């Protein structure tokens, strides 16, 4: 190797070149061909044998790859599949598999029974640069493919199919295709298999399912969620105090489309990154994205709407209709590619879109333009202007008719509907019906609405089977609680109030037990004949919490809800659509489950042919046949939007809620109902597979040095403190580049070990020189570093297995499949087991501990194991499952309040020597649950969550806070921060200076109300109340290590340079000011962002990083060092007197004293 005097630089590409040269000298004669047992993809780089192996795996395959490319093109063309999940059965040595994954809108997996072929196939894929998104899996056959039902878009079968056609159809999604390739002749056969689209599932083309606004899917497959189909980001929405980050979602043609703000959640200061995203509806594979430059201000008050945001997106067959920004015309996009097909130039200022029978209908705000939208965004105000309705040919854009002025009046948001040949809407005084083809007025019926209203509250208008249903709040109850004087608003005019306090009035009045307020807390539902406008009947209705009234029609019955407060009964009466008579009654929700939350979720309810689906505390199902209520408090929809039942699945967007944070899942999830063939989960019936590797009986046991860092965060307690001293004056000793993202590293026995997370690999390097030792490929992602124990390398993988390797050369010792069955789903655009295992496993007293699974409520729960670390033999197994084993539903009294939901989520385990800890939960060393009264270091969202969502943090304690105010409580009672390290009784950390949900001197977000980040030292006994010292830093700490001399090494991006909480009078252009929307309650606080774009660029690592050495005694800076890139989260360690860092740009750095070189 070569290098300069100050550093030894080498990338894997240059290393490969030297391996090739060495291999040529050897004549390529030495290859690893050990077939005695499973090798699982090890690239052995030890000595001469290692060089020849690496050469074998890096030799070009141009001839076979060139031949595979046109074959892949022909297969894709023949199949008609445009994006999604491809599975290649009998993939051989992989060139065809790799070629089919050339475009990033495909996720591809090859299955192969021959282990040598598996290794060759992996080489081909790695050469394409796509390993991870494209992967190769050893599959030893059987009658069941390792995939969830309805997951695969394209099956390519080379040669004879290893399974029957029924099994092929099981894994194919509706509309999915199987293509058969004659392996001998290399041609595509005529035997093409297409899975038909089931009549039992439905699409969801508009916000409220269809243009008639009846949010009820004709879908009999959607049911209570029991299995995860696919999952993607973002993990969290950006803020619980501001505009919802999720605006809209629809589905058509086997795809889902949604509008989301993908800016990092770590700071509301960062400018929004609104995007329209397309994914396959069944596999969740990302197909394409389009940027949306201007949208509603991210600083708009929470729950304040505007309700019509969700109406800017419609999907019909192979076209998507959308406004790509405020003030923009409607565009028609190709659903498969996202390319623009047509722009409807006459629809500038469109706020709502409906499409029916080839005609596009839109509500336009005639006065809105880009500048007006920008001004409104800066003010945090709603945009209000005159309205008009336009109809145009959905194919050509030719305008058919326009209605404006008095003929339209002020068209109320979300009320436009098309059905029965008419176009209907509610204005300030009437329900209006126009002829959908000509625009001529058919009828107009008086239907006054409240004229001063909160910005989130729109009337509800539904058209179904010849009946128009119009619902709105009554003015009487508003006057009862003394909110506004409706008579002060001019007739025909609507005034909007964005005051966030108004939403809580009905909830507060009910909680205070004021009988008159409870009695008057209703609205009116009026029914009209859709042909004549004649009023048919009237009845009571209630809005939901912070959302319009629910009006759902299923099987001729009209259902409305009463779910603002926990004491209300829910949806209990079904009325005859034509008469209004009550024809079906059911018991209140409280008879079936504990509601738990004081108020309902802030979105509408939805329905299917079989269920009504509400959002009281989570997502609840009401069986329309039996009346049974089924709660799912561990799952929650997006604020203001909710969720979407379609395609036999329940699509649940991310949320910004801290309620039930110990058990509630996050991210965007597509949930499937219970499977008829779900396998038994009793310990004796688990499909665990144990494999003996070639190194099983030949591992020299090496005791690690006390100066090593052999596991995640150094020790079983995850203290983050080193046992050696690192010099404060640092020099770069060596650096290596790998394919990122990388895990944090570990160092033991003279080697550094690191995982390339998405590439499924664990790599070993010489710790002193950076020379590569070996690379091992697992069957799925490895999200964190291995644990090194007595010459063994132990780690878990997202393929559901735990691996044990020989540390000296990476050879397999044993592999244990922890997943109860061989079933894969799609997570973050890669295939993973339904029961993944975190990369880092806990080793203590010769036993290795870990958990497999995603939630104790999903896919039959999770599985906690203890194995013999040397042999892989099982010591114990504990099934973690929190549904009733008889009913497979939540028990009636499952929850209490906003924090008392039993359940667990997976994490890297920790231990104090006597107990196992998984987040807040505590077990003994045989997996038996124990009281959660032992303080330990943990995070309510897991050690590996690097998002920094504002309601989460690390803590040294026992309590996990939950709920609107409860999430901040533990931060006031124990040491807490974004990162913590422990040295005995001392805690060092980087975190917020105040933990308050709201109020003067507090606030939910750093930057609001005087909250900032700081470096601090405190003692455990002080419970976080009295820090020994605090220091403001010019950067955000993403990596932190304490050495044995009580020197604190901290590093991160210079975000703090761009964020200030100075007085508002100090702000001047080009500073951007956002108003804290809690201000009307608790005083005016401001977030001042100096160049939000620069702040975001810094956070993303585009402005380098800073590394400081700080005295642990007083917080004084001792030295500093510039980095090209920030550490990956928690990606800095110290071992044997050196500092090792894995960075966001894919580098491993070794820093230390120049004299050690």
Q: What percent of the chain has pLDDT over 90?
A: 71
Per-residue pLDDT, 262: 97
Residue 261: is its pLDDT beyond 60? yes
Q: What percent of the chain has pLDDT over 70?
A: 84
432-483 tens-digit pLDDT = 999 999 999 999 999 999 888 888 899 999 999 999 999 998 876 555 444 5
Token pair listed for 159: 């040669």
d(CA 693, CA 63): 33
| CB crowding 606-633: b at 16 or more within 10 Å, else e | bbbbbbbbbbbbbbbbbbbeebbbbbbb
d(CA 44, CA 24): 17
1112-1153 tens-digit pLDDT = 999 999 999 999 999 999 999 999 999 999 999 999 999 999
* Mean pLDDT computed over 767-780: 97
Residue 333 near residue 290, CB atoms below 8 Å: yes
- Residue 774 — pLDDT band, cuts 50, 70, 90? very high
Residue 1156 near residue 733, CB atoms below 8 Å: yes
**1046: three-class secondary structure by DSSP:** coil
- Residue 518 — pLDDT band, cuts 50, 70, 90? low
Please identify which residue in the block is written with the tokens 């209630």: 542
Is the sign of the CA dihedral 338, 340, 344, 348 positive or negative?
positive
Match domain 62-194 to its CATH number in 1.10.3080.10, 3.40.50.460, 3.40.50.300, 3.40.50.150. 3.40.50.150
728-770 tens-digit pLDDT = 999 999 999 998 899 999 999 999 999 999 999 999 999 999 9
d(CA 1054, CA 745): 23
Residue 866: is its pLDDT beyond 50? yes
Lowest mean per-residue pLDDT among 182-191, 801-810, 814-823: 182-191
- Residue 142 — pLDDT band, cuts 50, 70, 90? confident
Token pair listed for 831: 């295939």
d(CA 544, CA 616): 9
d(CA 278, CA 295): 18
**597: three-class secondary structure by DSSP:** coil
Residue ranges per structural domain of the chain: 62-194, 216-657
d(CA 598, CA 506): 12
Per-residue pLDDT, 373: 44
Q: Are strands 152-158 and 172-182 parallel, antiparallel or unpaired?
A: parallel
Q: Cβ-count burial of 897 within 10 angstroms (0-12 exposed, 13-18 middle, 19+ buried)?
A: middle
Per-residue pLDDT, 491: 66
Residue 725 near residue 1045, CB atoms below 8 Å: yes
The rounded Cα 359 to chain-centroid distance in angstroms is 35
* Mean pLDDT computed over 232-259: 95
Choice between 33 and 941, residue whose per-residue pLDDT is larger: 941
Strand ranges (E), 502-560: 523-529, 535-541, 543-544, 547-549, 552-554, 557-559
Strand ranges (E), 348-419: 350-356, 359-365, 387-393, 399-403, 417-419
* Mean pLDDT computed over 151-161: 97
* Mean pLDDT computed over 579-599: 92
Residue 1150 near residue 1133, CB atoms below 8 Å: no
* Mean pLDDT computed over 355-378: 69
Per-residue pLDDT, 31: 29
35-89 tens-digit pLDDT = 333 444 665 544 433 333 333 333 444 444 555 789 999 999 999 999 999 999 9
Residue 220: is its pLDDT beyond 50? yes
Per-residue pLDDT, 304: 84
Per-residue pLDDT, 495: 81
Strand ranges (E), 272-370: 274-280, 286-291, 313-316, 319-323, 330-334, 340-344, 350-356, 359-365
Token pair listed for 1157: 């070189």
The rounded Cα 125 to chain-centroid distance in angstroms is 27
* Mean pLDDT computed over 961-982: 91
886-935 tens-digit pLDDT = 889 998 777 766 667 899 999 999 999 999 999 999 999 999 999 999 99
Per-residue pLDDT, 489: 59
846 phi, psi to nearest 5 deg? 70, 10
Per-residue pLDDT, 1155: 63
Per-residue pLDDT, 98: 96
Residue 271: is its pLDDT beyond 80? yes
Lowest mean per-residue pLDDT among 174-178, 669-673, 700-704, 856-860: 700-704
Domain at 216-657, CATH homologous superfamily? YVTN repeat-like/Quinoprotein amine dehydrogenase (2.130.10.10)
Nearest to 186 by CA among 79, 87, 61, 64: 64
Lowest mean per-residue pLDDT among 205-219, 612-626, 635-649, 1074-1088: 1074-1088
* Mean pLDDT computed over 980-1002: 84
What number of CA atoms fall less than 13 Å from residue 813's CA on the CB side? Answer: 27
Please identify which residue in the block is written with the tokens 């036993």: 847
Q: What is the pTM of this model?
A: 0.92
- Residue 999 — pLDDT band, cuts 50, 70, 90? low
Per-residue pLDDT, 864: 98
- Residue 1002 — pLDDT band, cuts 50, 70, 90? very low
- Residue 522 — pLDDT band, cuts 50, 70, 90? confident
Residue 155: is its pLDDT beyond 80? yes
Please identify which residue in the block is written with the tokens 């049911």: 223
Lowest mean per-residue pLDDT among 309-323, 932-946, 949-963: 949-963
Lowest mean per-residue pLDDT among 359-368, 760-769, 787-796: 359-368
* Mean pLDDT computed over 948-960: 93
Strand ranges (E), 29-168: 42-44, 84-89, 106-112, 134-138, 152-158
């Amino acid at each position: 190797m070569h290098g300069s005097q100050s550093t030894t630089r080498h990338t894997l590409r240059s290393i490969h070149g030297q391996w090739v040269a060495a291999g040529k000298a050897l004549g390529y004669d030495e290859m690893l061909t050990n077939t005695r047992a499973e090798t699982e993809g090890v690239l052995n780089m030890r000595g001469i044998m290692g060089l020849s192996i690496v050469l074998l795996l890096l030799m070009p395959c141009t001839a076979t790859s060139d031949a595979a490319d046109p074959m892949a093109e022909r297969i894709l063309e023949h199949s008609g599949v445009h994006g999604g999940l491809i599975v290649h059965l009998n993939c051989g040595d992989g060139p065809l598999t790799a070629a089919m994954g050339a475009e990033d809108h495909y996720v591809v997996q090859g299955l192969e029974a021959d282990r040598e072929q598996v290794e060759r196939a992996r080489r081909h894929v790695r050469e394409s640069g796509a390993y991870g998104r494209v992967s190769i899996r050893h599959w030893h056959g059987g009658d069941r493919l390792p995939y969830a039902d309805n997951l695969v878009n394209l099956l390519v079968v080379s040669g004879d199919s290893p399974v029957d056609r029924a099994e092929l159809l099981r894994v194919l999604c509706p509309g999915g295709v199987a293509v058969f390739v004659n392996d001998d002749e290399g041609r595509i056969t005529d035997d093409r298999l297409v899975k038909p689209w089931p009549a039992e599932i439905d699409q969801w083309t508009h916000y409220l399912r269809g243009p008639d606004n009846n949010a009820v899917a004709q879908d009999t497959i959607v049911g209570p969620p029991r299995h995860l189909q696919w999952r993607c980001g973002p993990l969290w929405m950006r803020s619980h105090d501001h505009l919802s980050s999720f605006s809209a979602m629809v589905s058509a043609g086997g795809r889902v489309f949604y509008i989301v703000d993908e800016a990092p959640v770590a700071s509301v200061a960062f400018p929004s990154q609104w995007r329209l995203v397309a994914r396959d509806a069944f596999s969740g594979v990302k197909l394409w994205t389009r940027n949306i430059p201007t949208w509603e201000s991210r600083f708009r008050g929470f729950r304040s709407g505007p309700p019509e945001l969700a109406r800017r997106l419609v999907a019909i067959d192979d076209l998507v209709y959308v406004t790509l920004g405020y003030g923009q015309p409607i565009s028609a996009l190709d659903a498969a590619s996202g390319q623009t097909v047509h722009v409807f130039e006459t629809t500038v200022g469109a706020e709502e879109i409906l499409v029916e029978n080839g005609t596009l209908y839109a509500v336009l705000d005639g006065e809105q333009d880009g500048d007006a939208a920008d001004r409104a965004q800066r003010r945090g105000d709603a945009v209000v202007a005159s309205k008009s309705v336009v109809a145009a040919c959905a194919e050509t854009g030719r305008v058919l008719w326009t209605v404006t002025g008095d003929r339209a009046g002020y068209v109320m948001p979300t009320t436009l509907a098309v059905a029965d040949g008419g176009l209907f809407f509610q204005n300030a005084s009437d329900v209006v019906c126009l002829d959908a083809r000509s625009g001529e007025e058919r009828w107009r019926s008086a239907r006054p609405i409240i004229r001063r209203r909160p910005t989130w509250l729109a009337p509800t208008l539904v058209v179904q089977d010849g009946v128009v249903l119009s619902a709105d709040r009554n003015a009487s109850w508003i006057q009862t609680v003394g909110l506004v004087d409706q008579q002060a608003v001019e007739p025909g005019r609507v005034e909007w109030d964005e005051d966030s306090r108004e939403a809580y009035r009905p909830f507060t009045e009910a909680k205070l037990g004021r009988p008159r307020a409870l009695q008057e807390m209703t609205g009116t539902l009026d029914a009209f004949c859709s042909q004549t406008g004649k009023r048919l009947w009237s009845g009571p209705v209630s809005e939901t919490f912070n959302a319009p009234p629910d009006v759902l029609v299923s099987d001729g019955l009209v259902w409305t809800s009463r779910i603002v407060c926990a004491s209300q009964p829910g949806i209990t009466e079904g009325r005859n659509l034509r008469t209004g008579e009550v024809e079906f009654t059911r018991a209140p929700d409280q008879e079936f489950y504990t509601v738990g939350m004081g108020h309902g979720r802030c979105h509408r309810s939805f329905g299917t042919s079989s269920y009504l689906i509400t959002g009281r505390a989570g997502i609840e199902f009401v069986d329309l046949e039996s009346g049974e209520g089924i709660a799912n408090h561990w799952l929650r929809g997006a604020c203001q939007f909710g969720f979407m039942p379609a395609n036999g699945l329940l699509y649940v967007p991310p949320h910004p809620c801290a309620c039930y944070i110990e058990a509630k899942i996050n991210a965007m999830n597509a949930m499937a109902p219970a499977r008829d063939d779900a396998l038994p989960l009793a310990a004796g019936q688990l499909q665990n597979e144990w494999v003996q590797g070639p190194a099983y009986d030949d591992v020299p046991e090496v005791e690690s040095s006390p100066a090593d860092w052999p596991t995640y965060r150094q020790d079983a307690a995850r203290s983050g403190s080193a046992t050696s001293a690192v010099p404060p004056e640092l020099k770069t000793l060596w650096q290596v580049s790998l394919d990122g993202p990388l895990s944090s590293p570990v160092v033991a026995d003279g080697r550094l070990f690191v995982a390339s997370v998405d590439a499924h690999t664990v790599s070993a390097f010489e710790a002193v020189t950076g020379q590569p030792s070996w690379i091992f490929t697992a069957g799925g992602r490895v999200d964190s570093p291995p644990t090194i124990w007595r010459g063994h390398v132990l780690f878990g993988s997202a393929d559901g297995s735990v691996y044990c390797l020989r540390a000296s050369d990476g050879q397999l010792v044993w592999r244990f499949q922890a997943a109860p069955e061989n079933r894969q789903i799609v997570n973050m655009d890669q295939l993973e087991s339904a029961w993944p295992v975190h990369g880092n496993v806990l080793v203590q007293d010769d036993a290795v501990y870990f958990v497999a699974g995603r939630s104790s409520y999903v896919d039959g729960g999770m599985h906690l194991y203890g194995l013999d670390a040397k042999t892989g033999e099982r010591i114990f197994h504990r099934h973690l499952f929190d549904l009733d084993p008889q009913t497979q539903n939540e028990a009636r009294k499952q929850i209490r309040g906003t924090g008392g939901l039993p359940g667990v989520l997976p994490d890297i385990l920790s231990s104090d020597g006597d107990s196992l800890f998984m987040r807040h939960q505590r077990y003994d060393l045989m997996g038996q649950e124990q009281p959660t009264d032992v303080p330990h270091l943990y995070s309510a969202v897991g050690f590996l969550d690097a998002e920094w969502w504002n309601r989460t943090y690390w803590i040294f304690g026992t309590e996990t806070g939950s709920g609107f105010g409860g999430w901040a409580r533990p931060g006031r009672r124990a040491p807490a921060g974004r990162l913590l390290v422990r040295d005995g009784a001392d805690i060092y950390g980087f975190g917020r200076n105040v933990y308050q949900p709201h109020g003067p001197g507090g606030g939910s977000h750093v930057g609001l109300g005087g909250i900032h980040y700081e470096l601090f030292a405190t003692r455990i006994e002080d419970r976080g109340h009295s820090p020994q010292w605090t220091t403001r830093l010019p950067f955000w700490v993403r990596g932190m290590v304490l050495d044995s001399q009580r020197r604190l090494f901290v590093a991160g991006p210079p975000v703090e340079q761009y964020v200030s909480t100075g007085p508002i009078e100090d702000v001047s252009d080009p500073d951007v000011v956002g108003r804290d929307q809690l201000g009307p309650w608790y005083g005016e606080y401001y977030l001042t962002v100096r160049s939000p774009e620069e702040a975001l660029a810094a956070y993303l690592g585009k402005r380098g990083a800073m590394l400081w050495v700080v005295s642990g005694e007083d917080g004084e800076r001792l030295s500093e060092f510039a980095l090209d890139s920030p550490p990956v989260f928690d990606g800095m360690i110290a071992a044997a007197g050196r500092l090792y860092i894995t960075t966001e740009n894919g580098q491993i750095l070794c820093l230390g004293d120049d004299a050690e070189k």
